[in-house]
Structure 1
Amino acid sequence: MNKLLGAVATIALLAVADQAHAARDYVWAAGSSTVFPFSTRVAENFSKKTGKKSPKIESLGTGGGIKMFCGGAGEQFPDIANASRPMKKSEFLACQKAGVKDIVEIKIGFDGIVVASDKKSPDYNFKLEQLYMGLADQSAKGTATVKNPYKTWKDVNGALPANRILVYGPPPTSGTRDAFVELAMEGGASKIPFLAALKKSDEKKFKATVSPMRTDGGWVDAGENDNAIVGTIEKTPNALGVFGYSFLEENASRIKGAAVNGVKPTAAAIASGQYPLSRSLYIYVKKSQVGVTPGLKDFVAEFVSDSATGRGGYLQGRGLIPLPPAVHAQMKAKAGAMPAMGAPKE
C-alpha cells in the first residue's frame, strides 16, 4: 500500500513539474519603449499568420528588459530583450553568470532620437554642444565645468529662443536615455576644447563629468511611455521632449522636431547617419528557448521578414528606418542559423 501511495505521489509530482515546464505557451519579449510598438505590430501579424497565441510584449526600457532577460533560463524569464542600444559587456556577463549562454543579437533597423516641441513653439536648431550645455548637471562655462547656471536656451546661445529650459525625457533605465547621453551629451561635450582634452586624457572622468543630467527641473524624467511625453509637451508651453523618431512621425500633425547641427530628423537623414542623433535598434534572443517556447523561431523570422523590416515593410509605416538590403539579408540569415554573439567590447 505504501509503495502504491509512493508511486502515485511520484507520478503527481512529475505531472506538476511537467506542467510547470510547459506553463508558458507564448513568446515573451520585454525591453525598449522605442522597439515596443514595432514588436507589438510583429506580434499581431505573427498571431494572425500562424494562429498561435499572441506574444506578450512589455515596455520596461532597454536596461530593465535586458536585466529581466538575463535573470535566467526557463519559462519564467523573457525569450527576447528589445533594445534601442547594443547590449553592454556588464549585461552580457550577468547573462552568462545566470546561465543565459547562447544569446543571438539581431539588428532590426534604425531610429533617430528627436528633440521635439509643440507646433506653436519657435523652431529650434541646436548644435550638439548646446544640448550638452543646456541639459548637463555640470555644464561648461568658460574653461571649467560648473553647476548648470543656464535658465533659458538664449542663455546658452544668443541665437536660440529665450524660452526656459524644460525638457521631458526618458529615465535612466531607457535605451533612448543611454543613446541620448552618448550622442548628445558626450558628443556635445566633445566639441568643447577643454572637455575634449579631458576625454583624451581620462575618458572615465570625462563621462562622469558630462553624462549626468541636470536635476534642478531643467530635465525631467518622464517615464518609459513616449506617448505620454508627446502629450505633456503639447500641454506645457515651450517645453521640449526627447523620444524616438517613430513617435514624431506618428504625431506629425501635433508636434515638430528640432534640427541638430542644421539637420532635421527625417527618415533619409537618419538612415544615412547625417542626422547626429541616429542609432540602431536590436532584439536579443535566447537560443536555448528555441524549440522550447512554441513559436519563438517563427516570431523572430517574422520580425526580420521582408514584409516587416524590409524596405516598404509594415514597420516602415510605423516609423522604423529600414536597414540597407545587404545588412537586412544578413539579419535574416542570422535568424535562421541563430549564431551566438561574443562578449561586447564595453
Structure 2
Amino acid sequence: MNRILKTTAVAAAVMGVVGIAEARDQLRIVGSSTVYPFASYVAEEFGATTDFPTPVIESTGSGGGLKLFCSGAGDDTPDITNASRRMKPSEFEICEANGVTDITEAFIGYDGISFAQSADNEPMDVTREQLFLALAAKVPVDGELVDNPYTKWSDVDASLPDRKIAVYGPPTTSGTRDAFEELVMEAVSEEMSEYGGEGYTDIRADGAYIDAGENDNLIVQRLAENKDAFGIFGYSFLEENSDSIVGSHVDGVEPTPENIGSGEYPVSRSLYFYIKDQHAEDVPAMYEYANMFMSEMMIGSEGYLRDIGLIPAPEDVQAEARAAVEGKTALQLSDLN
C-alpha cells in the first residue's frame, strides 16, 4: 500500500511539472467585478484581432481574485487578476510564500463608487457621515456606541426621505467593498470621538445592508424591482444604466468623470490588474494582452474604455504605468507600504 501511495505521489508530481511546462494559448483572468467590463472589452478585441483565443475571465471580486492568483505559479492558477484596489502587503506576502515571486502591477485608471437608486425617485444626495450612520453596525447615541437603531433614512437625518434603509452592496471579497469601507466608513469614524480616532468599518448585518454578490448588474436589476432601495457599485455601471438609475451627490459632489479623475468626488479609487510574470514564457498571450490593455487605444484620454466608464489617468501617469508593464517591472513589497 505504501509503495502504491508513493508511486501515485511521484506520478502526480511529474504530471504537475509537465502541466506547468506546457505552453498554453488561452489566458486565464480572475478578479474585480468593477474591472470586469473593461477587461472583457479588451479580451474581445484581443480575440478578434490576434491569433490567440479570447481570454477566459471570471468575476470573483478583488480579494477572491488575489487569493486565486497568489495560490501558486502552476498552470492551474490564473495568469492575471483584476483589482479595484491596490494589492495589500499581506497579499503580496502570501504570493511570495506560495512561490508567486515575480509580479508586475498595471495601473489602468480611476473609478468612482456610486450610491444610486431607481430613476423613478427624486434624487437623494448624501454626505459620507449620513452613509456611515445608516450602515455602521454600531453608531454613537448620546455619547455611547450602540447597535445601529436607525431603520429609515429620516432617522439618520430629518432632511432625508422617510424611506426604509435598504442598500444592496458588494460582499467582503470585493474591492468595491474595501474601498467603500476605507473612503466612507473609516474616513468618517476617525473624525468621531466615540471611536477614539480609530477607523471603524463594521457594516450592519441586520438586513439594512444586503450582500448582493459580485455581479454589479444584478444590483442594478434589483433597484428596478425595489424602488426604495439604493445600490453601491462602480461608476461605469451607473453610466451604462443612466436611463434607469440615478446617482447621488456625495458631500455635495456629483459623480462625473471629471470629478472622479480630479479626486474631487470623495469616493474615488484606482483600478489595477496584476500579471504573473512566471507564466510569461509558457503563456505567450499574456503580455500581448497586457500591452493591448495598456495601450492609448484602450486607456488613453480618447480610448475605447472611456466610452464604457473608465476614467483615464493624466498622460504622464499613463506613460509611467505603460512603461512598467512593457518593462515587466517587478512589484516590490516596499511599493505597497
**C-alpha contact 1:102 1:340 (8 A) present in aligned 2:** yes
- Equivalence map 1:1-150=2 (5 Å): 18=18, 21-22=21-22, 24-150=24-150
CA offsets 1:10-64 (integer angstroms, 9 cap, x no match)? xxx9899646632632111100000011101111111222121111111000000
* Aligned residue among 205, 209, 212 for 1:222: 212
- The separation in 2 between residues aligned to 1:144 and 1:342, in whole angstroms, is 43
**C-alpha contact 2:19 2:74 (8 A) present in aligned 1:** no
Name the counterpart of 1:9.
none
Amino acid corresponding to residue 79 of structure 1 in structure 2: D
**C-alpha contact 2:23 2:283 (8 A) present in aligned 1:** no
Q: Is 1:335 aligned to residue 333 of structure 2? A: no
Amino acid corresponding to residue 182 of structure 2 in structure 1: E
Amino acid corresponding to residue 315 of structure 1 in structure 2: L
Name the counterpart of 1:160.
160
**C-alpha contact 1:122 1:161 (8 A) present in aligned 2:** no
Amino acid corresponding to residue 68 of structure 2 in structure 1: M
- The separation in 1 between residues aligned to 2:186 and 2:268, in whole angstroms, is 14
**C-alpha contact 1:129 1:191 (8 A) present in aligned 2:** no
Q: Is 1:275 aligned to residue 275 of structure 2? A: no
How far 1:339 sits from its partner (Å)? 1.0
How far 1:162 sits from its partner (Å)? 1.2
Aligned length in residues: 324
Name the counterpart of 1:242.
232
**C-alpha contact 2:105 2:325 (8 A) present in aligned 1:** no
- The separation in 2 between residues aligned to 1:320 and 1:129, in whole angstroms, is 27
In structure 1, the gaps of 5 or more residues are 1-12, 200-205
Q: Is 1:170 aligned to residue 177 of structure 2? A: no
- The separation in 2 between residues aligned to 1:227 and 1:85, in whole angstroms, is 20
Amino acid corresponding to residue 266 of structure 2 in structure 1: P
- The separation in 1 between residues aligned to 2:42 and 2:33, in whole angstroms, is 15
Name the counterpart of 1:231.
221
CA offsets 1:142-182 (integer angstroms, 9 cap, x no match)? 32221000111111111111111000000000000000011
Amino acid corresponding to residue 33 of structure 1 in structure 2: S
How far 1:122 sits from its partner (Å)? 2.5
CA offsets 1:161-216 (integer angstroms, 9 cap, x no match)? 11110000000000000000111111222343443xx12xxxxxx34xx2111111
Name the counterpart of 1:192.
192
**C-alpha contact 2:139 2:147 (8 A) present in aligned 1:** yes
How far 1:289 sits from its partner (Å)? 1.3
Distance change in 2, residues 1:316/1:156 (3 Å): same
Distance change in 2, residues 1:187/1:15 (3 Å): closer
Q: What is the TM-score when the length of structure 2 is the normalising length?
A: 0.92
- Equivalence map 1:278-293=2 (5 Å): 278-293=268-283
Name the counterpart of 1:10.
none
User: What is the aligned-residue identity percentage?
Assistant: 44
Q: What is the TM-score when the length of structure 1 is the normalising length?
A: 0.90
In structure 2, the gaps of 5 or more residues are 1-12
Bigger CA drift: 314-323 or 45-54?
45-54
**C-alpha contact 1:131 1:188 (8 A) present in aligned 2:** no
Q: Is 1:299 aligned to residue 289 of structure 2? A: yes
- Moved >3 Å (runs of 4+): 13-21
Name the counterpart of 1:5.
none
